[in-house]
Amino acid sequence: MERRTIGAAALAVGAVGLGCMPMSWAYSASRQRGDESLRAVHRALDLGSSLLDTADMYGPFTNELLVGRALKERRSDAFVSTKVGLLVGDQHIVANGRPGYVKRACDASLRRLQTDVIDLYQLHRADPEIPVEETWGAMAELVRAGKVRALGLCAVGARAGRRSGARLHDATIRQLERVQQVFPVSAVEAELSVWSPEALETLLPWCETRGVGFLAAMPLGNGFLTGRLRPGAGFEADDIRARHPRFTAEMMAANQPVVAGLRRVARRHGEHVTPAQVALAWVLAQGRHVVPVPGTKQERWVTENATATTLRLTPEDLREVAELPPAQGSWD
């Protein structure tokens, strides 16, 4: 697989990563099977999708334990990214950026992941009660201690910023400017897909001009851009899509033209090319510093996603995708 680099340290990863969250968090608990997910991780590593993206809050904790089972056997094949800063309680999630907590959380992640170093340690969310510089300083100490190789930041939730009239990623960029003064940012993780292209406006250019890697979260639109979800089919109660405005039957039907456009492009490239591969190829085309991280728990989709690296979209393809109607329905 094509390799791409993250940050000034030029950390090399496969051009398409693997989001491990669906294996144990947020998507249809009845379909989560540890052994099947473990096979998906091994398949990703076989294909060169070396970046495994997890977090201590996924589960909580169980996702890191699952990834750790694979790392125990194949640590040299993997680039492990995990996150800190969010605590999961009963029906609520809170931020914790206290330096002492961050250090303890890192040690706990290392144990669960069965490794002595985390390749990319990301701040999941800043704690509003703690200056972000203090949290980032504690994370920098972990780098100096040899427990972490590089630091990353996840984009701030967008809803509050939009209500105030700010651009979607203004708050994230302000945080990035602050922490960059403390220790270099190697990567930013934020949503980027055909139906959520907002990062192209300011966040992606910010990363590109500073040599910061960009991990594209949800590049398949929580599964919608694969074309395999049927409007009105419904989701299990614990599935995040059951509460997402874009996944009501009405909005899924209204957004079918987006999938239809991806299918048209796919057909031009061959009968076996899928809308999902076109969606991933579009993300890959946004810059050499961009690494899409599609989430899945099945080997077949891992293989399909990895193969997207061989698909080269033409200028005509890119124009057609750019002209697709904007997605309807949002958190805002």
DSSP helix/strand/coil, 222? helix
Query: For 56, how many CA atoms within 13 A lie in the half-sphere containing its CB?
Result: 28
Residue 270 lies in a domain: no
- Within a domain: 83: yes
Contact criterion met (CB below 8 Å) for 75 and 41: no
**The dihedral of CA 71, 149, 111, 15: what is its sign?**
negative
Specify if 273 maps to a domain.
no
Q: How many domains does the chain have?
A: 1
Task: Find the helix or strand (DSSP H, E) in which 187 lies.
Answer: strand 187-191
Q: Answer yes or no: is 193 within a domain.
A: yes
Percent of the chain with pLDDT over 70: 95
Residue 161 has a pLDDT of: 44
The residues that bridge with 187 in the sheet, in sequence order, are 152, 213
Q: Is residue 54 part of a domain?
A: yes
Q: Which of 86-90, 96-100, 170-174 has the lowest mean pLDDT?
A: 86-90
As a whole number, the mean pLDDT across the chain is: 93
On the question of pLDDT at 3 being above 90, the answer is yes
Provide the pLDDT confidence category of residue 331 given band limits of 50, 70 and 90.
Answer: low
What's this model's pTM, rounded to 2 decimal places? 0.95
Residue 57: how many CB atoms within 10 A of its CB? 22
Q: Cβ(302)–Cβ(43) under 8 Å?
A: yes
Q: Give the C-alpha separation, 154 to 168, whole Å.
A: 14
What is the distance between the terminal CA atoms of the chain, rounded to a whole angstrom? 38
Average pLDDT over residues 91-108: 95
Domain CATH number, residue 188: 3.20.20.100
Answer whether residue 278 is part of any domain: no
Which of 144-149's residues contact partners 24+ apart within 8 Å by CB, and which partners?
A: 146/117, 147/106, 147/107, 147/110, 147/116, 147/117, 147/118, 148/106, 148/117, 148/118, 148/119, 148/120, 148/121, 149/9, 149/11, 149/117, 149/118, 149/119, 149/120
Task: Name the token pair of 160.
Answer: 């509050």
Burial of 1 (0-12, 13-18, 19+ CB in 10 A): middle
Q: How many residues are present in the chain?
A: 332
Which residues neighbour 102 within 8 Å (Cβ) at sequence distance 6 or greater? Answer: 84, 85, 135, 138, 139, 142
Query: Quick one: average pLDDT of 164-186?
Result: 90
Question: Which residues constitute the domain of residue 199?
Answer: 3-222+287-299
- Tokens encoding 20: 């491990």
Examine residue 47 and state whether it is found in any structural domain, yes or no: yes
Express each pLDDT in 114-151 by its tens digit: 999 999 999 999 999 999 999 999 999 999 999 999 99
Whole-number percent of the chain with pLDDT over 90: 84
Catalytic residues: 58
**For residue 116, is it within any domain?**
yes
Specify the 3-state DSSP secondary structure of 120: strand
Q: What is the structure's pLDDT at 158?
A: 53
User: SS3 for 307?
Assistant: helix
247-302 pLDDT per residue, tens:
999 999 999 999 999 999 999 999 999 999 999 999 999 999 999 999 999 999 99
